[in-house]
Structure formats: C-alpha cells, structure tokens
C-alpha cells in the first residue's frame, strides 16, 4: 500500500473515484501478506498487486465494478483442484480481498491518512469487511485523534483502542466485534491496517560496504542512518539520496538515538576502538538484529573484549558475527545481499537453506494473533 499511495493521493486530490482492493486475510502458501493492495482508477489504470499475478485480472474487474457501483465487495480466491482453469492461486494458498470504492464523500479521511504515511507519522485504518455494519466503512486512527466512523460510537471506541495497540506493534490483521463494539462477539470483522513509521537501519562505519548496505536497506524500506566519527568518510555524497549521514562517535550516537524491536544495527567498522564500545551499547538496546563485520579471528578477539567489558552470554548471543549468510560474497554489493538475506531470514524465521532442499509450504502460515 505504501508504494501505491502517491498515485492514489493524486487520484483522490483530483476527485477521481477508484476501486481499492486490499488483502485482508491469507492462509497456507499465499503470495502476499495482509495489507497488500491494488487499485484501479481513471482510464482503467491499475497500480499495485494483491497476488503477484495469480488473480490480478479478476481483481481488476472487481475494482472497476466497485468504483462504478459504489458498493464494496469481499471475495476469496484459492486454487481449485476441480477446475484448474478457474481463477485461483497456483501456489495452493488462499487470499481474501476487500474491494471498496474510494471517493471524497465515501472516505473523507483518505487524504489525511496518505499525508501522514508520506510524512512517517503513525496512523491505522480500520475497515469493516462484513457483517451488519456497512462493508467498506472506515475509521482512521492516529495516536491522538480519529476521523470517520464504522457506524456506531461504541464500535468506533473499541476499534480505536485496539488500532492504537496494533499500531504500536506495527501489526496488521482482522479483529472481531459486536455491532456496538462488544469484545466477545464476532458479528463485525474489522481489518486493522497499521502504517507504522518505517523501521530504522543504523549502519556504523562509512566504508564502501556501508554504502552498499545502506542502498539495500533503503530498497527494503528501512529508514537508514550511516554514522562514523571520521568526517572525511561520513559525507552525504558517498551514500544514496535519503540516507541520513551523521558524524559522531558511534557509541555516543547510539546512546542518544531511539531504537525498538524492529531496528537493525550493522557494525561495519571492524576497528576495536569503535566496535567494542558500540557493541556494548547495541547489545543492551532494543533491536531486531545486531550484526558485526570481520573475520573469525576478528570476531574472537572482539568477543573476548566484550566479555572483559562485562557483557553476559545472553547479551552476546544476540550478536550476528561474522555478519551475513554464507553466499560466497566478495564485492561490497554481494556482501550487502548477504547481510540483507540474514536480516530477512531472521525477521521471518527463514532457515537460509535453498528452497530446493526444503519441503512443505514456501510461505509457512504465521502464528495467529
């Protein structure tokens, strides 16, 4: 959704109605996660994707119909053994897609939501998918305010409270309520779509490897900061546009900046005077990933210094060193792919083993929330 919002914002600002299809539920080996979106606007222009190609044609037609009729639709697509030519997912999974019309009258909050996402401000959008409440009704929820309604004040209040909790976690999914927001009823399914600010990637050491890691981090959607104490290396022109470059001692910068459970920290200096004090701080901070570059000898020496500095075995177990997966990488760009592969595998619980050597679903189902 983030990728197509600039186009949708232009259509919305121009008063052009469009049909917006959003994946609200998946099962088995579905190709896209909840929140994946596709829209069809003026001149039958289509942007985005809900399945990577399997059911795009059918969703395109649905979005056109919905934009013209003004009524939302909920459709489920899956592979059909009985009719291999039926519209379905050849991967064997199943997705449920909500297709709703978007106009200024039907969704007066859409422009404000798009502006908040573009500005990196946290916002969640709650949308009724079925039940006695109006399908397609939306409620936009910010940490300090709401806009729109799902039909009743009780439902709005209950959903807003849950949406703020999901937003804090960066979580997206379906919750169930009664028509007036009753927690123990399931008549009204509501899709909560969180637009949390992008996670941070902190890259320490402004070397050529850092430029490649920063580039792939930006590509993966991270908000990237490169930090180095040496101003001759820490210059913006050496890094992609949009990457923040900071001249500061790494451990001092890290102490003074925010991290959370989604933050990625890459230590690429492989210089003890920078690495050891930096990793002392990093391994005691909230972070999804802490990786450090260096040979095995460098790793062993660095680990010894960290033990001397008082880090516990539990803290040291968080360190991914030498950094990256074993891809045989040589160039900075190849090393960046190796680092990114390890980050993605750790994020989703991947094994790093070639898929040809595994069995079962390519995309295992996630644990239900």
- As a whole number of angstroms, the distance between CA 130 and CA 208 comes to 52
273: preceding bond cis by omega (within 30 degrees): no
pLDDT recorded at residue 3: 87
H runs (alpha helix) in 242-290: 250-255, 272-282
d(CA 109, CA 139): 8
Q: Which residue has the higher pLDDT, 21 or 355?
A: 21
Mean pLDDT of 347-358: 88
Please give the Cα distance from 9 to 13 (Å, whole number).
6
Q: How far apart are CA 347 and CA 337, in angstroms?
A: 15
d(CA 111, CA 286): 34
The model carries a pTM of 0.70
Work out the percent of the chain whose per-residue pLDDT is above 90: 73
Residue 321 banded pLDDT, cuts 50, 70, 90:
very high
pLDDT band at 45 (very low <50, low <70, confident <90, very high): very high
- Confidence label for 240 from pLDDT (cuts 50, 70 and 90): confident
Widest CA span in the chain: 69
pLDDT in tens, 258-275: 999 999 999 998 788 999
Query: What CA–CA distance (Å, rounded) separates 171 from 80?
Result: 31
Nearest 5°: phi and psi at 226? -110, 130
- DSSP per-residue string spanning 179-193: TT--TT--SEEEEEE
Query: What percentage of residues in the chain have a pLDDT greater than 70?
Result: 92
- Per DSSP, which regions of 294-356 are E strands? 319-320
**Is the distance from CB of 298 to CB of 171 less than 8 angstroms?**
no
Phi, psi of 37 (to 5 degrees): -140, 155
């Amino acid at each position: 959704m983030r990728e197509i919002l600039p186009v949708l914002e232009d259509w919305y600002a121009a008063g052009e109605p469009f049909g917006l299809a959003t994946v609200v539920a998946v099962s088995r080996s579905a190709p896209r996660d909840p929140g994946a979106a596709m829209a069809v606007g003026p001149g039958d222009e289509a942007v985005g994707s809900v399945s990577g190609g399997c059911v795009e044609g059918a969703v395109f037609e649905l979005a056109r119909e919905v934009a013209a009729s003004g009524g939302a639709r909920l459709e489920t697509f899956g592979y059909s053994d009985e009719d291999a030519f039926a519209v379905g997912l050849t991967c064997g999974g199943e997705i449920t897609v909500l297709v709703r019309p978007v106009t200024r009258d039907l969704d007066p909050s859409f422009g404000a939501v798009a502006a908040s996402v573009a500005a990196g401000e946290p916002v969640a959008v709650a949308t009724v998918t079925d039940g006695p409440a109006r399908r397609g009704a939306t409620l936009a929820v910010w940490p300090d305010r709401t806009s729109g309604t799902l039909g009743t004040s009780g439902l709005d209040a209950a959903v807003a409270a849950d949406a703020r909790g999901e937003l804090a976690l960066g979580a997206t999914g379906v919750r169930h309520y009664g028509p007036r927001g009753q927690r123990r009823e399931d008549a009204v399914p509501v899709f909560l779509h969180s637009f949390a600010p992008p996670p941070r990637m902190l890259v320490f050491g402004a070397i050529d490897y850092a430029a490649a890691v920063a580039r792939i981090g930006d590509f993966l959607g991270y908000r990237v900061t490169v930090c180095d104490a040496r101003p001759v290396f820490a210059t913006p022109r050496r890094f992609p546009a949009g990457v923040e470059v900071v001249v500061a001692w790494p451990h001092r910068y890290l102490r003074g900046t925010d991290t959370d459970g989604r933050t990625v920290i890459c230590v690429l200096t492989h210089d003890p005077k920078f690495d050891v004090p930096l990793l002392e701080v990093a391994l005691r901070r909230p972070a999804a990933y802490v990786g450090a570059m260096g040979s095995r000898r460098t790793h062993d020496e660095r680990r010894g210094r960290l033990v001397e500095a008082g880090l516990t075995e539990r803290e040291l177990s968080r360190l991914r060193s030498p950094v990256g997966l074993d891809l045989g990488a040589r160039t900075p760009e190849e090393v960046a792919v190796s680092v990114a592969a390890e980050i993605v595998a750790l994020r989703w619980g991947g094994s790093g083993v070639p898929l040809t050597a595994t069995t079962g679903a390519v995309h295992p189902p996630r644990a239900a929330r």
